[in-house]
């Protein structure tokens, strides 16, 4: 039993030795472009391991890569969320909304731009929640605009 365990460990080491993703270790880069490239490396290594027969050593190698991948994936998602948050143009727009019709329309346009951006990026973890908040803000602002138009016309 111990001999088989050692054989599996050694075989898994051989399998993982050629995987570039296992060279990516914490602390991870803060450069989003670099992290995106590294994410592709992880995905390629995982795909390579998934194509291998399901032997004990391959299962062990997959487990090692997946464990490290999860921490890296969370780091990537955090960087992506930070970049997206910086790109949002309507973060400052909060109730109570402007009572000036022209300003309220301009605010609505900014919120609509943010909704479009978030829809494009919604596959990134955490963006779905931002999108839901932006859509709710857009709906509330739209209702506010309707009330302002009724008051003015």
pLDDT for 19 equals: 86
pLDDT of residue 28: 94
What is the residue extent of each domain of the chain?
2-84, 88-152
Residue ranges in the chain modelled with pLDDT below 70: none
Chain position carrying tokens 């605009």: 145
Q: What number of H helices and E strands is found in the chain?
A: 5, 0
The pLDDT of residue 87: 96
CA distance 82 to 70: 18
pTM above 0.85, yes or no: no
Q: How far apart are CA 50 and CA 44, in angstroms?
A: 10
Nearest-10 Cα torsion for 133, 136, 137, 139 = 160
pLDDT number for residue 1:
75
């Amino acid at each position: 039993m111990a001999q088989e365990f050692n054989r599996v460990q050694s075989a898994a080491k051989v399998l993982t030795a050629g995987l570039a993703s296992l060279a990516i270790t914490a602390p991870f880069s803060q450069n989003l472009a670099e992290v995106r490239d590294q994410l592709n490396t992880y995905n390629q290594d995982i795909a390579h391991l998934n194509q291998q027969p399901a032997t004990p050593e391959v299962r062990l190698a997959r487990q090692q890569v997946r464990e490290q991948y999860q921490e890296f994936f969370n780091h990537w998602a955090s960087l992506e969320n930070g970049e997206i948050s910086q790109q949002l143009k309507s973060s400052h727009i909060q109730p109570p909304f402007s009572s000036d019709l022209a300003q309220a329309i301009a605010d609505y346009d900014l919120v609509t731009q943010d909704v479009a951006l978030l829809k494009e990026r919604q596959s990134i973890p955490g963006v779905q929640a931002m999108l839901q908040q932006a859509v709710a803000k857009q709906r509330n602002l739209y209702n506010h605009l309707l009330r302002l138009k009724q008051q003015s016309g």
